[in-house]
Amino acid sequence: MRKILAILFVSALAALLIYTVALLPPMGDSDNPTNQHIAPRYLERGPEEAGTGNIVAGVLLNYRGYDTMAEVAVLSAALAGVFAVLGRGKKRIGTTFIDGSGVEFSVVSRIAVILLVSFIMLLSIQVILQGTNMPGGGFQGGAAIGAGVMISTLALGFGRTQHRVPYSLRAILESTGILAFFVVGTIGVVSGANFLTYTLPGVSAQAQAIVRAAMLIIVEIGIGVMVGAVATSVFFALLRDKEADDVERAA
């Protein structure tokens, strides 16, 4: 009975939504209202005002830079929530059910993953650094770094991988994202303009383009490293057995 009611309700909702959506102007039309007001300005003046070849990265870091800073803050808040629920794991080597399961890690997968992870890390560094001129950026490269660490955990064992990325290193890397934003933004305030304008005090106008490109890359690297560290930390927290120094919750 509940199921029939739910199906009816969801069908009514779907019919209402589809009817509303069919009334929108046709997709891809060049005189849609969405393509009229601010989008042509971003597309024409984006590369010179924001300083990037990739206009989406320019919108993210320059026109809507405050939104990206808040997104990094949301990522930190989610990490704090996961640590509050599952524990931080400050012990040097944790244990997990992968290591103790009695299944041996095969030689083939170990060697393949070692090779693969080297190329994955190289590719993610390239994606982060070229994020201002080619599709990519800080978040994509950082998530690829996290993915590389995850695949090496699944094939090489939890103890070996956690030895390479211990809690002390992750704690430093997780703060670089928001720190990069604050440092670059405060330099903008010190040089007389608004927060997060990419300028340096006392630099000639020709060198401002180079300064802006350097600051954009600093911010991208900060975001990328932070996202990689957050993904790794959450993965370790979800996988790890409960440790003795985790916060005890009343049952």
Q: Hunting for tokens 């401002």 — which residue is that?
A: 208
State in angstroms the smallest separation of the CB of 73 from another protein.
Answer: 10
Residue ranges in 14-53 that form contacts with another protein under rule CB under 8 A: 14, 17-18, 21-24, 26-30, 32, 34-35, 38-39, 42-43, 46-47, 53
Residue pair 158/95 in contact by the 8 Å Cβ criterion? yes
| Amino acid identity for residue 40 in this structure | P
Minimal CA–CA distance to 90: which of 162, 151, 155?
A: 162
Residue ranges in 212-231 that form contacts with another protein under rule CB under 8 A: 227, 231
Residue 172 makes contact with another protein by CB under 8 A: no
Q: Which helix (H) or strand (E) holds 66?
A: helix 65-86
Q: Which member of 7, 112, 171, 190 binds another protein (CB under 8 A)?
A: 7
**116-151 exposure pattern, b = at least 16 Cβ within 10 A, e = fewer:** ebeebbeebeebbbbbbeeebbbbbbbbbbbbbbbb
State in angstroms the smallest separation of the CB of 5 from another protein.
Answer: 10
Residue 129 makes contact with another protein by CB under 8 A: no
Q: Which is nearer to another protein, 32 or 186 (CB)?
A: 32
Stretch in the footprint of another protein (CB under 8 A) among 61-69, 105-113, 164-172, 181-189: 61-69
Residue ranges in 91-120 that form contacts with another protein under rule CB under 8 A: 97
Residue 251 makes contact with another protein by CB under 8 A: yes
Stretch in the footprint of another protein (CB under 8 A) among 58-66, 102-110, 161-169, 204-212: 58-66
Task: For residue 96, list its beta bridge partners.
Answer: 240
Residue pair 79/174 in contact by the 8 Å Cβ criterion? yes
Helix (H, G, I), strand (E, B) or coil at 53: coil
